[in-house]
Structures are given as C-alpha cells and as structure tokens.
Chain A
Amino acid sequence: DAKTTQPPSMDCAEGRAANLPCNHSTISGNEYVYWYRQIHSQGPQYIIHGLKNNETNEMASLIITEDRKSSTLILPHATLRDTAVYYCIVRRLYGQNFVFGPGTRLSVLP
C-alpha cells in the first residue's frame, strides 16, 4: 500500500501557483519524498525529490515540513500543460521500489 495520502483533485488558475499537499506521517528517516506526474496517455514523469531540505529545480519546488510528516509540491506559475495526475511517493534511495497511490488530479483552468 502507498504510504502517502493526497487529495483526489485540485483546481488552479492559469498563471497562479499550484500547491499540492501530501501527507506521509509514517515516513522513515532514510526515506525520500518523490514527486511524479502523469499527463493523460503518457508515462509518469519525474519532477523532484528530497529528504528533509527544501528543493527547487526548473520544474517545481518541494517544501518538506520539519517533522517530515508532510510536504508540498509547488508549481510556481501553472500553465494548462501542467494539468495532470500528480503522485507523491516515499521511498528509500537504494533498493526500494516505487509504490504509486491514486495521486491528485490537478486541473489548471484558463
């Protein structure tokens, strides 16, 4: 079973920041938080991952709470092309497989 809980769906206005929450209250000290997204009819696409520090790349920012029990993926300026299902996954860096839950369906509205 997935170790994370996410809202099933969210809406966001185009151009605004999209903040996608994820709860992972049973995360272990050596488990990372990964985010993937899946645009309709395509395979999942890696977005970002982190352990305990906040992370930023060209796609998104990842904010992890100090107790590591929850995190937020931030898409700073959402576009229509960001409409997708977003998956939050916790996983050890080495050797453990990815377990996908149902994710959050983000709809970016014009």
Chain B
Amino acid sequence: EAGVAQSPRYKIIEKRQSVAFWCNPISGHATLYWYQQILGQGPKLLIQFQNNGVVDDSQLPKDRFSAERLKGVDSTLKIQPAKLEDSAVYLCASSSLRVARSLYEQYFGPGTRLTVT
C-alpha cells in the first residue's frame, strides 16, 4: 500500500512570497490532516478535512493560510504572504474509518520543510 505523498520535500522562499504544498493521502482514506511542526516542537494541527469538508480549522491562521481538498482526495495548503515564523515542516496525514485495528490511526507523509528567509 502506497503511503502519504507530499511535495515538494524542501522549499526556500523569501518573506512576503507565496508558497503551496501538495498532499496525496493513502487511497480510500476519508480524513486528511495538515500539521505544522516547528523545530524542537511536536506537530500542531492546522486543519482537518473529512472527505472535502473542513472539520476543524481552529488553529489555521486564516489571514495568510488556506487549504482545500476539492475532490475529497488530494489537498493543497497555501501560505500567502509568508512570514519568517512560518519556517517549519508541514506534515500531511490521513486516516481511514474502515480498518478496525487501525481505526483513527494517522499515517503521516514525509513532510515539506519550508524555510522563509
């Protein structure tokens, strides 16, 4: 079974520029998450999708961050404009509602490391 795919793996931009990250979850996984992980900290949830609907975006800085999952499969996370404090690893995760043993386990992608200079 293919894992969660993310691209790009690394991105360096200047502050005030825009950037977008892409995530392809495990096939059949209805739930998709975006996390932000700043160096030395655990991942922080930014947004959760159930199919193509937003379940929780309470910690998403909506003045500059946006995310979409138009067809309930792939998702993109955008930052516009970027700030220095946005430097972090952005992780995408997905989970299935149909696998008993792993119910609500989250499978993580490799992440995108963003550096804002």
Interface residues of A (CB under 8 A from B): 2, 41-46, 49, 85, 87, 93-94, 97-103
Contacts and interface: CB of A to CB of B under 8 A. Distances in A.
B61 interface: no
A103 B43 CA distance: 10
Contacts of B103: 93
Interface of B: 4, 33, 40-45, 48, 56, 91, 93, 102-111
Q: Which 8 A-B pairs rank lowest in CB-CB distance, beginning with the nearest?
A: A43-B108, A100-B42, A46-B105, A100-B43, A44-B108, A97-B45, A43-B91, A101-B42
B104 A87 contact: no
A44 B107 CA distance: 8
B56 A103 contact: no
> Main SS of the interface on chain B?
loop
Contact of A42 (B45, B105, B110): B110
15 contacts: A42-B108, A42-B110, A42-B111, A43-B108, A43-B111, A45-B108, A46-B102, A46-B106, A46-B107, A49-B105, A97-B45, A97-B48, A100-B42, A102-B41, A103-B42
A43 B110 contact: yes
Contacts of B56: 97
Contacts of A99: 45
Contacts of A44: 43, 91, 93, 106, 108
A102 B45 contact: no
Nearest to B50: A95
Contacts of A45: 108
Contacts of A2: 42
